[in-house]
């Protein structure tokens, strides 16, 4: 069977042709220095620059918005090999693992819909990650909290996640690591970078991983390839091109999860390893990305950047969903539901912008302006077995079940109604500027106009919609001194919706905004960064069912005031001194849902209960002064109790009490080239539900271990 790696489109083949002259890169070498290095290569938990909130090239301290960064050093220390692990470590972000291969992310009470690669926004209207995104290709992962309509257009007032990829180095470097761990985990990773000629530098990252799981029957086979090349065409012109391929093939994945209450309304208590997946089920995800960037410097203060990105994702799966309420005595009463699901989605995105600085009234000011065009489509298909009798079998007590469900005959018996064919276009124009009102007072402002058009059907429902909206941001930053900045900001975003009101008119977009007030301080000679923020985020104009004017055959909608969250966040990152590096954060969020939403939108009213009010996260590492090359650390997260109302009459509530997951690490440099790292995760073997985002759920991983041998040249 031919590997999917070789099933590339003409675009990928053309990109690979560029690689034939030894090319792999993305952004210029000077960008690498934007992360301040503290001590040795493993001590860098502090980042000082970010491109997630603006295109102005200003520091995190000068940005009037909370920006979190998980650096490469932190990822390496605690073996954070996938995005879920990274975002679980990121203060202010909730990772909602609803299934083994589908995950949602939340911040400040709202789903995260905005994702970027190297600051280039990838438009989408749902935030679920399908499969697992490997982190080997990323130098750091940034999260800008709050609404971010300037950089990404449509979205929620939650956060924007920006994946900053590794870039070539001028000096030759090679890193190889091998990991072995619990549940037959085997991972091999290679990273090679350097100059090919005086004008060409390149980098390649490859990963091969195979592992079983604590969940019965679940196993994953993962492949990653990343190539990036940078061409210095002239002293002022740089061409960058790259190709990324990731595949995640899962055997016996969860589709849905465990029933959380029995026939008497009591909570179920399955073994942590219990799975509802059939032994024949699989879920294969493949992602391919090609990027091309051309940067032209104009004088000493200006540059123009044009970028093109092509992203394509494919899914092939045979899945088994278990539903129903188990009998309190026998554990029986569940049924299965088999499906064949296929998906292909694609994004073509072109973005061009100019940025630079100018002097006016004796002060220097920055401005960036540009435009982007995106063309998107997705096509999917769901097949079921409604003929053989194997499509909806009875499922015995899950305790002891081996996944031996009958094999269904999956086919389309109603052509055209069991899938989607949807096309979308997004066009945006934007401008952002920072004006120096005085030496100490900076004013940031910007506008983005976005036009979004969608047409097509999804499972018989018309997804057609046309929207346009203008979002803005405003911010003030006041420098008390060289070390401390005070700031305030107002940011906006919007989300298109396709529901119609009583008159048949499409409802206006959902409106979202964030107000933030905070302080950022550099401590201990700028080795440590403190960020304290007060925030208020609101989303309004949300579609809810207009029950009074709906009929059994026609549901109409009306706009509701929406959801409001407010709270405060504290983050401290960098070098604590005495050999300690840390990244810690505390978030306190209070969510309020309007009465109209409570009456007409079941999922919205549940947000308050399944979102933890308090979350504390800490990653800390200590370099032992008395033993050269030895370090140890702890990565932990604690969250408040959460719940989900499962039924009103009689009242059934699923609860997950407050809990902490604690991970330890120890690392030793055998010599300058060889390092060994030991990781122990969930060391206190805490049993907990991953999420109450959905009515079902499954348990987090129990205690597990991994050992990684690293070789560097």
SS3 track for 672-713: CCEEEEEEEECCCCCCCECCCCCCCECECCCCEEEEEEEEEC
What is the C-alpha to C-alpha distance for residues 645 and 595, in angstroms, rounded to an integer?
17
Q: What are the backbone angles phi and psi of residue 122, rounded to the nearest 5°? A: -110, 105
Comparing 133-142, 256-265, 605-614, which segment has the lowest mean pLDDT?
Answer: 605-614
Q: Cβ distance 405 to 322 under 8 Å?
A: no
**Token output for 18:** 């560029």
Percent helix, strand and coil across the chain, each to the nearest 5: 10, 55, 35
pLDDT 10s digits, 73-124: 999 999 999 999 999 999 999 999 999 999 999 999 999 988 999 988 876 6
**Stated pTM of the model:** 0.89
Q: Cβ distance 255 to 31 under 8 Å?
A: no
- For 510-554, the DSSP string reads EEEEEEEEEEEEEETTTTEEEEEEEEEEEEE-EEEE-GGG-BTTB
Res 415: pLDDT? 55
pLDDT 10s digits, 614-652: 999 999 999 999 999 999 999 999 999 999 999 888 999
Q: How would residue 598 be classed by pLDDT, with cut points 50, 70 and 90? A: low
**3-class DSSP string for 17-44:** HHHCCCCECCCCHHHHHHCCCCCCCCCC
| Coil vs helix vs strand at 83 | helix
Residue 14 has pLDDT above 60, yes or no: no
Q: Cβ distance 216 to 257 under 8 Å?
A: no
pLDDT 10s digits, 283-339: 999 999 999 999 999 988 999 999 999 999 999 999 999 999 999 999 999 999 999
Question: Nearest Cα to 127, choosing from 118, 117, 114, 116?
Answer: 114
32-42: b or e for each residue (b if 16 or more CB lie within 10 Å)? eebbbebeeeb
Residue 34 has pLDDT above 50, yes or no: no
Comparing 359-368, 370-379, 451-460, which segment has the lowest mean pLDDT?
Answer: 451-460
- What mean pLDDT do residues 348-353 have? 95
Res 679: pLDDT? 97
Is 140 or 505 the better-scoring residue by pLDDT?
140
Residue 230 has pLDDT above 90, yes or no: yes
Res 414: pLDDT? 55
Q: How would residue 240 be classed by pLDDT, with cut points 50, 70 and 90? A: very high
What is the C-alpha to C-alpha distance for residues 154 and 380, in angstroms, rounded to an integer?
23
Residue 508 has pLDDT above 90, yes or no: no
**Token output for 701:** 């991983």
Res 126: pLDDT? 67
Comparing 267-271, 365-369, 537-541, which segment has the lowest mean pLDDT?
Answer: 537-541
CB-based burial label for 344 (10 Å; 0-12, 13-18, 19+): middle
Res 4: pLDDT? 39
Mean of pLDDT over the chain: 88
163 to 63, 121, 140, 144, 271: CA distances (angstroms)? 18, 10, 7, 12, 36
Res 30: pLDDT? 33
- What mean pLDDT do residues 478-495 have? 93
Q: What percent of the chain lies above the pLDDT cut of 90?
A: 70
Contacts 24+ apart (CB under 8 A), 465-471: 465/496, 465/497, 465/498, 465/506, 466/506, 467/494, 467/496, 467/508, 467/509, 469/154, 469/494, 469/509, 471/147, 471/149, 471/150, 471/153, 471/447
Give 404's strand partners.
none
Instruction: For the chain, list the domains and their CATH numbers.
Output: 4-712 (2.40.170.20)
DSSP state of 637: E
What is the C-alpha to C-alpha distance for residues 160 and 108, in angstroms, rounded to an integer?
12
What is the C-alpha to C-alpha distance for residues 428 and 371, in angstroms, rounded to an integer?
5
Comparing 14-23, 128-137, 553-562, 630-639, which segment has the lowest mean pLDDT?
Answer: 14-23
């Amino acid at each position: 069977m031919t590997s999917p790696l070789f099933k590339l489109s003409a675009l990928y083949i053309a990109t690979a042709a560029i690689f034939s002259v030894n090319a792999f890169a993305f952004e210029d070498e000077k960008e690498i220095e934007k992360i301040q290095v503290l001590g040795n290569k493993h001590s860098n938990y502090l980042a000082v620059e970010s491109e997630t909130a603006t295109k102005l090239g200003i520091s995190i301290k000068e940005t009037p918005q909370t920006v979190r960064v998980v650096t490469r050093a932190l990822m390496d220390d605690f073996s954070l090999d996938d995005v879920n692990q990274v975002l679980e470590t990121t203060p202010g972000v909730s990772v909602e693992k609803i299934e083994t291969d589908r995950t949602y992310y939340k911040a400040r009470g709202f789903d995260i819909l905005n994702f970027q690669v190297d600051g280039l926004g990838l438009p989408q209207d749902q935030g679920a990650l399908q499969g697992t995104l490997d982190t080997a290709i990323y130098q750091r992962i940034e999260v800008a909290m709050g609404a971010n309509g300037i950089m990404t257009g449509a979205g929620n007032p939650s956060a924007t996640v920006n994946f900053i990829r590794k870039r070539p180095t001028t000096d030759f470097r090679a890193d190889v690591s091998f990991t072995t761990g619990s549940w037959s985990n085997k991972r091999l990773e290679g990273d090679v970078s350097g100059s090919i000629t005086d004008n060409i530098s390149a980098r390649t990252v490859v990963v091969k991983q195979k592992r079983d799981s604590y969940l019965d029957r679940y196993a994953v086979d993962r492949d990653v390839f990343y190539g990036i090349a940078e061409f210095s065409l002239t002293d002022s012109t740089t061409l960058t091109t790259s190709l990324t391929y990731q595949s995640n093939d899962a055997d016996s994945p969860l589709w849905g999860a465990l029933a959380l209450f029995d026939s008497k309304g009591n909570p179920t208590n399955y073994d942590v390893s219990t799975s509802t997946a059939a032994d024949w089920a699989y879920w294969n995800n493949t992602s391919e990305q090609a990027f091309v960037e051309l940067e032209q410097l104009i004088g000493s203060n200006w540059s123009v950047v044009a970028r093109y990105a092509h992203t394509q994702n494919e899914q092939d799966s045979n899945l088994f969903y278990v539903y129903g309420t188990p009998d309190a005595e026998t554990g029986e009463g569940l049924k299965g539901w088999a499906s064949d699901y296929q998906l292909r989605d694609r994004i073509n995105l072109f973005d061009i912008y100019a940025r630079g600085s100018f002097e006016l009234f004796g002060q220097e000011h920055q401005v960036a302006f540009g435009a982007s065009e995106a063309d998107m489509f997705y096509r999917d298909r769901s097949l079921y077995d409604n003929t053989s009798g194997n499509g909806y079998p009875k499922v015995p007590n899950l305790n002891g079940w081996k996944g031996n469900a009958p094999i269904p005959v999956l086919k389309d018996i109603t052509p055209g109604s069991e899938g989607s064919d949807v096309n979308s276009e997004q066009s945006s124009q934007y401008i952002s500027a920072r004006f120096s009102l005085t030496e100490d007072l900076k004013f940031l402002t910007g506008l983005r106009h976005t036009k979004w058009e969608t047409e097509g059907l999804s499972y018989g429902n018309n997804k057609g919609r046309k929207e346009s909206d203008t979002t803005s941001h405003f911010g003030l930053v006041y420098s008390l001194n060289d070390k401390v900045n005070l700031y305030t900001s107002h940011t906006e975003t919007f989300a298109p919706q396709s529901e119609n009101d009583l008159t048949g008119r499409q409802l206006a977009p959902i409106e979202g905004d964030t107000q933030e007030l905070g302080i950022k301080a550099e401590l201990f000679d700028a080795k440590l960064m403190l960020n304290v923020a007060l925030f208020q985020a609101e989303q309004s104009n949300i579609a809810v069912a207009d029950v009074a004017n709906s009929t059994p055959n026609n549901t109409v909608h009306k706009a509701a005031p929406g959801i409001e969250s407010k709270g405060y966040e504290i983050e401290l990152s960098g070098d604590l001194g005495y050999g300690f590096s840390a990244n810690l954060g505390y978030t306190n969020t209070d969510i309020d849902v309007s009465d109209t939403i409570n009456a007409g939108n079941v999922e919205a009213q549940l947000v308050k209960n399944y979102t933890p009010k308090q979350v504390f996260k800490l990653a800390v590492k200590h370099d032992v002064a008395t033993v050269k090359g030895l370090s140890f650390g702890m990565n932990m997260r604690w969250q408040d109790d959460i719940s989900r109302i499962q039924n009103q009459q009689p009242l059934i509530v699923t609860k997950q009490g407050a809990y902490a997951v604690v991970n330890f690490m120890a690392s030793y440099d055998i010599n300058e080239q060889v390092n060994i790292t030991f990781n122990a995760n969930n060391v206190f073997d805490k049993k907990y539900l991953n999420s109450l985002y959905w009515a079902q759920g499954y348990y987090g991983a129990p205690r597990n271990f991994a050992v990684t041998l690293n070789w560097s040249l």
